[in-house]
């Protein structure tokens, strides 16, 4: 399995299409990067996450860095999540400090949109290796979702 699935956007990890390019003063320039086209989803649209609920600890809504502005060219953690070994789907009761994982306040599951626009809940207890495969759009492995 490729070991770069935590690199979003122009990496092959989590899809992220809303990254603004900032200037040296951290101001948005109006240009965008990391646009991901559907043809770059080599594993297939049914095998790849497009978006998922982001873990925000209870009490941290609208609080940076847990939940910041989406159109942000710098602080990825404010709006983007990753998943795989060591970074599982987190539960709402997870203590603050685990910044990077997907997660939901729904009990036991987290909702994802796949790249084919279908939605489905994924158990928080999913094997983290499989989670990484679903986050990676070109790992070359087929995940049996059934």
Partner 1 sequence: MRSTSYQYRLVTTAIACLILNGCQSEGEQVFPISGKILFSDGSPATFGTIECRSDSSSPVIARGRIEKDGSFTVKSFGNRNGLVAGDHRMIVVQVTGSPRDGGTIIHNHGQEVATRYSNYDSTDLRLHVQPGGRNHFEFIVDAR
Residues near partner 1 (CB under 8 A) are 1-9, 11, 19, 21-24, 26, 33-34, 65, 73-77, 82, 84-88, 91, 97-100, 122-130, 132, 141, 143-146
The least distance separating partner 1 from the CB of residue 117, rounded to whole angstroms, comes to 19
Smaller CB separation from partner 1, 50 or 112: 112
Which residues are within 8 A (CB) of 34 and not within 5 positions of it... i.e. 6 or more apart? 8, 9, 10, 16, 17, 19
Smaller CB separation from partner 1, 61 or 108: 108
The least distance separating partner 1 from the CB of residue 76, rounded to whole angstroms, comes to 6
Which residues are within 8 A (CB) of 76 and not within 5 positions of it... i.e. 6 or more apart? 8, 16
CA separation for the pair 133, 84 (Å, rounded): 8
The least distance separating partner 1 from the CB of residue 38, rounded to whole angstroms, comes to 21
Q: In this structure, what DSSP letter does residue 109 have? A: E
């Amino acid at each position: 399995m490729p070991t770069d699935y935590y690199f979003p956007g122009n990496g092959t990890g989590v899809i992220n299409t809303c990254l603004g390019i900032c200037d040296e003063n951290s101001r948005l320039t109006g240009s965008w990067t990391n646009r991901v086209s559907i043809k770059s989803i080599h594993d297939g649209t049914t095998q790849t996450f497009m978006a998922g609920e982001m873990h925000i600890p209870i009490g941290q809504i609208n609080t940076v860095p847990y939940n910041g502005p989406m159109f942000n060219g710098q602080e990825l953690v404010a709006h983007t999540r990753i998943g795989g070994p060591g970074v599982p789907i987190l539960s709402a009761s997870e203590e603050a400090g685990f910044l990077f994982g997907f997660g939901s306040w729904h009990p036991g599951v987290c909702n994802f949109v796949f790249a084919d626009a279908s939605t489905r809940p994924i158990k928080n207890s999913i094997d983290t290796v499989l989670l990484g495969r679903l986050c990676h759009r070109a790992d070359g492995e087929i995940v049996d979702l059934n």
